[in-house]
Every structure is written in C-alpha cells, then in structure tokens.
Amino acid sequence: MLGTAGAAGTLLSGALETEGLKTLAAEKAQEALLGLGFGIDQVSLSGHRFTSDRDVFQALDLQHARTFAAFDAVAALRRIENLPWVETAQITRLYPGGLNVEVRERRPAALWDYKGKTYLIDDTGRALGASAANGWQLPRVAGDGANSEAAMLFTALSRHPDIAKAVMRSDRIGARRWSLLLKNGSRLELAADREVEGLEQISSNPILRRALGGSAFAVDVRTPGRLTMRPLTLAQAGAQSSTGRLQ
C-alpha cells in the first residue's frame, strides 16, 4: 500500500501529466488552425503617438495566442488600456487573419515634480511617464498629492487669468494645501480647501495684487479675516524660485 506521501506524490504526478497533455493538445489544435488559415497574421496599429508599438504588441500577447480561437480580446484590451498613455482602445478583427488596434491616448495637462523626477500627468492626475520638461508648455505642480489635486486648482485659477499667468509653480504643502510660487519670486499661501476664496481675496484687493508683478512679496490668506503681506528679499525670492519651500 502507498503511504500518504506516496499517494500525494502519485496524485501530483498525475495532475502534472494531465496538465501537460492539455497543453500539448492545445498547442496541436492551434497548429492545426494555423494550417487551415485561421491564424492571426497581420496587426494594424493606429492612434498612438507616445505609446510604443512594442508595448502594444506585448499587451496583445500574440506569441501565446496565434489564432482567433486562442486570442482573448477582452484580456488584451484590458492590458492595452493599462498602459500609461492609453485612455481607451478598440480591437477589431479584419478578415481573414488581421487585427486592427485603435488607441486613444490621454492628453498631458501638467508637469509634476515629485521625488527628484518630473512626470507628465493628465487631468485626472495619472502619471503618463517621467519626462524632461523641455518642449512642454504646461502648468507645473510639485509635492505629494499635487497630481491628484491639480485639476481643482487649475479650475480655480481659470477664474483669475492674471494670477494664473503669473504662476511659475504650484507647490502642494503637506499634501493638504497650495503655495503658489510666482514668476517674480512672490508666494501666495492658500488655505486647505479654500483656494477659491483665497484667490478671490487676492484678485479683488489692489494691495495684495502688487505681489503679481514687480517686487516679490509673501501673501498669506490662510486665515479668514486676516490677510498678511510682507516683502521678500532678493535672496529669499531666489531661494524659493530654485528650491521651493515645501514645509
């Protein structure tokens, strides 16, 4: 009689043999279908600019599914749409043996400085990949959580084009509020969840608006009913422009 270990070993061996036979049968079936002309022998890609052909082909996984019977279009579509730049994709069969893959890519909305790298992000905050900033005329944000909160800030800034035009970078402080670094070295300190009110206060106050051009000022509108404004020295403004003040 076989002991427990021997029985388990026999069962495992039998399972592996059965699985091997299934795999062999599947491979033979696929070869037969290829011989009958049911293989996938042509793939057409369109709509992509920043997604590489190689990444799309890897997502299709045609090296393991060379026939339409073996090809899982739903799984392939899911893998393609998981690629960083891809927003949506469509896979269509072209008879007799072709596939057409049409990709719609995401649109960059901002540059995100995070942990020593710069990423392109879309309007949902999704990182599209690390990128050099050169050539991209986009708003710039920095800090933990800045990517996911950028769209709300940009919406608030769109109501005040004069402020938006003056902003060089928007820093997310403590993953909870914004500090806007202006091109002239000024800083606009906004309260958490009160960006709209803070920007409105700055835009409507002639004294605070002096920070948008000329000499550099630190403007703090974080506390309701209490506005502060103080001049920054050239050294302070220069240090903020080059390193930011993330605290």
Top pLDDT among 230 and 97 is at 230
**∠ CA 77-82-88, rounded to 5°:** 60
- At residue 244, the pLDDT reads 46
61-65 LR contacts (CB < 8 Å, sep 24+): 65/40
CATH, domain range 110-243: 3.40.50.11690
Top pLDDT among 94 and 147 is at 147
Residue 209 has pLDDT above 50, yes or no: yes
Other CB atoms closer than 10 Å to residue 41's CB: what's the count?
14
Superfamily of domain 14-105, CATH level 4: membrane protein fhac (3.10.20.310)
Instruction: Give the separation between CA 208 and CA 220, rounded to whole angstroms.
Output: 9
Tokens, residue 137: 């005329």
Q: Quick check: pTM over 0.85?
A: no
Domain locations in the chain as residue ranges: 14-105, 110-243
- At residue 132, the pLDDT reads 63
Residue 114 has pLDDT above 70, yes or no: yes
C-beta separation of 101 from 44 below 8 A: yes
Instruction: Render pLDDT for 7-66 as a digit per residue (tens, 0 to 9).
Output: 444 444 444 445 544 444 445 545 544 444 557 889 999 999 999 999 999 999 998 888
* Average pLDDT, integer, range 156-177: 97
Give all strands of the β-sheet with 86-94 in edge-to-edge order.
Answer: 42-46, 98-105, 86-94
Nearest to 56 by CA among 97, 90, 106: 90
Phi-psi domain of 129 (left: phi exceeds 0; alpha: psi -120 through 50; beta: other): left
Residue 172 has pLDDT above 50, yes or no: yes
